[in-house]
Amino acid sequence: MKITIRFIFVALLITSNIFSAGAFLNKYDSIDNHNEFETLMKKIRQDFAQNPHIEEALKKYNEKDGSFTDIDYSSIQRTKWPPMTHIERLYDFAFAYTTPKNRYYKDKLLFDKIQKGLEYWHERNPWCHNWWYNQIAEPQCLGILLIQMRTGEQRLPAVLENKLLKRIKEDGGHPSKWTGANRTDIALHWIYRSCLSENHADLKIAIESAYSPIVYTTKEGFQCDNSYFQHGVQLYIGGYGDEILKGVTQVAMYTKGTQYAIPETKLAIISKFMRETYYPTIRGQYMLFDVLGRGVSRPGITKKTNTILFAKRMIELDPAHGEEFKAIIKRLKGEQPANYALQPKHTHYFRGDYTLHVRPDYTFDVRMVSNRTMRCEYGNGENLKTYFMSDGCTNIVVDGNEYANIFPVWNWTRIPGVTAPQMNKIPMAQSSWQTRGTSTFAGGVSDSIYGASAYSYRDDYADINTKAKKAWFFFDEEVVCLGAGISSTSPEDIFTTVNQSLLSQKEIIFFSGGKTSHVEQNTSKYIEADWILHNKVGYLFPEKGNIFVSNQTQTGNWYDINHTASRQPQYADIFTVSFNHGKKPSNANYAYIVVPNKQTTKEMRKYQKSKNIEILSNTEEQQIVRNKKLGIWQMIFYKAGRFKNKDISVEVNEGCALMIKDKGGNKADVHIADPKQAQSTIEIKIDMYQKSSKTKKITCDFRDSGIYSGESKK
């Protein structure tokens, strides 16, 4: 993911002197072909308008040569590249010089500083070992700066401007060599340069390149399941997803009402992704941490109020869905609660090995990895403890901020949902950028409202030597989480973590032996609990087990997970609940039920008494759950087999994920998916004894299904 640079996001800052890109559209709804470049530049200026304070930067300006005294221009570090600060400051100088309300408006001395600073930059020619600065950050910043300076009392000398435009063109690269968000970002500075040089041919290439990533692909970019990949087949709904939405909506606003307007088919793809995937991974103001890629290790990254701008743009670009985007904005601004205008939705992203379950009361997701996808990356010195995050990681959120900035103090062997050895040193994947998973069985079945997902986990890398069959069953009030066949030869204890989140101000309550108790502050212990309640989420343990619960202040620092961040100690009170399967377990299992939006012990007792959930099987071969209230059976078969009880008999000839919904009157809906994505034919025999003695036979042909081989069928 790209490093956040202040100048790129200047339009996102909430100040009285910054204008939304939509504020000027009515004035410039059409482009006069004779003057299209100037009209585009007017929109670009309005998009980035600001009234900066530059006094501190002026104190560090070197009058002799146009440099800044505090910048190491020889640095080639890959993140937070120091020389970039030079361009950012000149960028601010340019807006100060050209903004009427600024005290330096039309200031001759400031103009001289800008000119000399640009001359110094060109002659010094700093270069970074991270291509992104050379081909995206610097060219974008220079392009906007030059466009703004065209409105100044004095114009930069044509010779200097042309030298800088040449540098942008030669160093900035060609968008066709890149994919996804990277292509769109490079296309942006092509647009800036084309307008400044009045180059029709390059402008056409730039705009076509900006829109060309908006297609469904099997490579980097938008996938047919509505997920998003970058850096190979790696899930990146946030991070690079942010970048492509920022760039595409930005260009679409510039070109709205012109010959270069975004095609309707491409706008539909963007809108669908934003409404059905991107924004649903944001609960309230916070994005689920496991869709952010290596950016999860950056301070403040989960808070996504800056994405309000994308939704505002879409109100203009896609008015047919304007009300949806308005509701999104209200949640992001905090004007409405996290559950405002949310509808029940369940999606298994069969291309991305990712499951997202949204309810008005909560959001729950699962991130898996298979031999078809990549593990979460850790490049450029970021996300250095991420190894287990791809192995069945779960978010459990009601308000959305349950994990905000928790990551420097996290125990990264106890990521929620994950079964892992408690290693002192967490291994790093073989490759920092693209390391494939190994599971051949990772997927889920869905009818868009309910679903079940499964992950056959086995990892023999770096002495982890652990395996488990893990499954999640999603309903309205609850998510049932099962694990079976847990075995390991690792010398460390094997934990399955139910949750590790920020501790709320309210206490941790647990129910055991017919009475409720509390987990006191700064304590941790093993208990045999029927249930635990903390921060609006209940956790039921139908089989109890050796349950570890903790209420502790944990410490760490951002640097340990991100070498571009601070070493300053961080402290946070943390709630943890886990199963300890011990050392070298053999065929161990676990079962827990997550019941969000429970506030009191009375509510928990009432739910427990309902006995709505039946766990019918939890073995290495099959994991099966029934929701009696909904009349739904959800079944994971890891291989051919049969399940039978007094109510139903199901036999399959291949491993699969299966959901049977009792519709009454001797009718049932059946949904099936193949987590192996083997493109085989799956045969099912179903006997529902209480309805009929007649066996129902179903043949589901996944042959020749190609990239849709993991999709659910009815």
Q: Please give the tally of structural domains in the chain.
A: 1
Identify the pLDDT of residue 688. Answer: 84
**pLDDT, the chain, mean:** 93
Domain of 578? 346-612
Answer yes or no: is 556 within a domain. yes
Give me the residues paired with residue 591 across strands.
482
Answer yes or no: is 413 within a domain. yes
Nearest CA to 636 among 486, 450, 442? 442
Q: Of 192, 211, 240, 362, which is the active-site residue?
A: 240
Identify the pLDDT of residue 666. Answer: 73
CA distance linking residue 94 with residue 112, whole number of Å: 11
Banded model confidence at residue 31, pLDDT cuts 50, 70, 90: very low
Nearest CA to 574 among 545, 548, 597, 595? 548
Over its C-alpha atoms, the chain yields an Rg (Å, rounded) of: 28
CA distance linking residue 98 with residue 398, whole number of Å: 46
Q: Of 86, 183, 231, 283, which is the active-site residue?
A: 231
Tokens encoding 587: 């065929």
Pair 672, 700: CB distance under 8 Å: yes
Q: How many CB atoms lie within 10 A of CB 35?
A: 10
What mean pLDDT do residues 221-228 have? Answer: 98
Tracing tokens 């395996």 back to the chain, one arrives at 467
* pLDDT tens readout for residues 187-202: 999 999 999 999 999 9
Answer yes or no: is 336 within a domain. no
Residue 53 known to be catalytic: no
Q: What b/e sequence results for 253-282 when a residue is b if at least 16 CB atoms lie within 10 Å of its CB, and e otherwise?
A: bbbbebebbbeeebbebbbebbbebbbbbb
Helix extents (H) in 49-179:
55-59, 84-98, 108-124, 131-132, 138-149, 158-172
Residue 97 known to be catalytic: no
Answer yes or no: is 403 within a domain. yes
* pLDDT tens readout for residues 558-608: 999 999 999 999 999 999 999 999 999 999 999 999 999 999 999 999 999
Identify the pLDDT of residue 690. Answer: 59
With residue 650 as reference, give the H or E element that holds it.
strand 648-652
* pLDDT tens readout for residues 96-153: 999 999 999 999 999 999 999 999 999 999 999 999 999 999 999 999 999 999 999 9
Q: Mean pLDDT lowest for which of 15-19, 235-239, 459-463, 488-492?
A: 15-19
Banded model confidence at residue 5, pLDDT cuts 50, 70, 90: very low
Banded model confidence at residue 689, pLDDT cuts 50, 70, 90: confident
* Confidence check: pLDDT of 19 > 70: no
* Confidence check: pLDDT of 6 > 50: no
Q: How many CA atoms lie within 13 A of 450 on its CB side?
A: 26
CA distance linking residue 32 with residue 619, whole number of Å: 69
Residue 183 known to be catalytic: no
* Confidence check: pLDDT of 33 > 80: no
Model's pTM, two decimal places? 0.90
Give me the residues paired with residue 357 across strands.
346, 364
Identify the pLDDT of residue 140. Answer: 97
Nearest CA to 168 among 150, 149, 153, 186? 186
Identify the pLDDT of residue 35. Answer: 82
What mean pLDDT do residues 427-451 have? Answer: 96
Answer yes or no: is 419 within a domain. yes
CATH number at residue 419: 2.70.98.10
Q: Of 89, 183, 283, 294, which is the active-site residue?
A: 294
Pair 478, 594: CB distance under 8 Å: yes
Answer yes or no: is 211 within a domain. no
Answer yes or no: is 90 within a domain. no
With residue 214 as reference, give the H or E element that holds it.
none
CA distance linking residue 237 with residue 273, whole number of Å: 9
Answer yes or no: is 147 within a domain. no
Give me the residues paired with residue 396 across strands.
364
Identify the pLDDT of residue 691. Answer: 55
Identify the pLDDT of residue 257. Answer: 87
CA distance linking residue 356 with residue 396, whole number of Å: 11
